[in-house]
C-alpha cells in the first residue's frame, strides 16, 4: 500500500488503521446500539401496557426437567405480566446487575481494542523507530536471544508496500 501511495508511510498507516477501525470496531458499536434500542422498545412497550406475551405452546410443559416450571411461569407472564415480574423480581435484579456488568465490561473491552488499533497504527507509521525500540526491549529482556526473537517477529510481519 505504501508503494501505491508514492512511498508515503504515514498515509498508508493511517489508511490501514482507519480500515481496521471500520472493519472491527464499527460493527461492534452497531451491534451494541441495536441491542440497546431493542431493549428500549421493550421497556417502552411495557410502560405503555402494549407488551403482549403469547401463551406457551402445549409441548413446552412436556420438556424434561424445565418444562413444567417454565410453562407455569410463561403462562403467568402471558396472563398477568406485572405479577410474573413481581414474582421474578429477585432473579431479575441479579440478572440486571450481571447484565450491566457484562455491558460495562464489553464497552471497556471495545475501548481497549480501539486503543490497541490506534497504538498499532502509530507503530506502523513509525515502523523503523518501533523496530529499534522492539529490538532494544527484546535484548534487555532476553539478551542476544531476544534479538533473534525480534528478528523472527520482524521477518513474519505483513508488508504494507
Residue 60 lies in a domain: yes
| % of residues, the chain, pLDDT over 70 | 93
Residue 161 lies in a domain: no
pLDDT of residue 116 exceeding 90? yes
Host domain of residue 19: 9-125
| % of residues, the chain, pLDDT over 90 | 52
Residue 59 lies in a domain: yes
pLDDT of residue 108: 95
CA distances from 73 to 42, 67, 87 (A): 19, 10, 9
pLDDT of residue 161: 46
When pLDDT is averaged across residues 9-21 and rounded to a whole number, the result is 88
pLDDT of residue 130 exceeding 80? no
pLDDT of residue 55: 96
Residue 48 lies in a domain: yes
pLDDT band at 31 (very low <50, low <70, confident <90, very high): very high
When pLDDT is averaged across residues 40-56 and rounded to a whole number, the result is 90
Distance of CA 134 to the CA centre of its chain: 29
Assign 3-class secondary structure to the chain: CCCCCCCCHHHHHHHHHHHHHHHHHHHHHHHHHHHHHHHHHHHHHHHCCCCCCCCCCHHHHHCCCCHHHHHHHHHHHHHCHHHHHHHHHHHHHHHHHHHHHHHHHHHHHHHHHHHHHHHHHHHHHCHHHHHHHHHHHHHHHHHHHHHHHHHHHHHCCCCCC
C-alpha cell at 81: 405480566
What is the C-alpha separation between 150 and 108, in angstroms, rounded?
Answer: 30
Residue 30 lies in a domain: yes
pLDDT band at 156 (very low <50, low <70, confident <90, very high): low
Residue 149 lies in a domain: no
Give residue for cell 529482556: 141
- Overall number of domains in the chain: 1
Residue 45 lies in a domain: yes
When pLDDT is averaged across residues 113-134 and rounded to a whole number, the result is 85
Residue 94 lies in a domain: yes
Higher pLDDT, 154 or 45: 45
Amino acid at each position: 500500500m505504501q508503494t501505491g501511495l508514492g512511498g508515503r508511510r504515514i498515509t498508508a498507516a493511517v489508511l490501514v488503521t482507519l480500515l481496521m477501525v471500520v472493519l472491527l470496531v464499527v460493527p461492534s458499536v452497531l451491534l451494541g446500539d441495536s441491542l440497546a434500542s431493542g431493549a428500549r422498545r421493550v421497556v417502552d412497550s411495557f410502560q405503555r401496557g402494549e407488551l403482549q406475551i403469547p401463551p406457551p405452546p402445549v409441548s413446552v410443559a412436556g420438556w424434561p426437567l424445565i418444562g413444567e416450571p417454565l410453562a407455569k411461569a410463561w403462562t403467568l407472564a402471558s396472563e398477568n405480566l406485572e405479577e410474573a415480574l413481581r414474582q421474578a423480581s429477585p432473579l431479575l435484579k441479579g440478572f440486571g446487575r450481571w447484565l450491566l456488568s457484562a455491558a460495562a465490561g464489553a464497552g471497556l473491552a471495545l475501548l481497549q481494542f480501539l486503543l490497541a488499533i490506534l497504538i498499532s497504527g502509530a507503530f506502523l507509521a513509525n515502523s523503523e523507530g518501533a523496530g529499534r525500540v522492539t529490538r532494544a526491549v527484546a535484548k534487555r529482556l532476553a539478551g542476544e536471544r531476544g534479538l533473534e526473537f525480534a528478528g523472527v517477529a520482524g521477518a513474519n510481519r505483513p508488508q504494507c508496500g
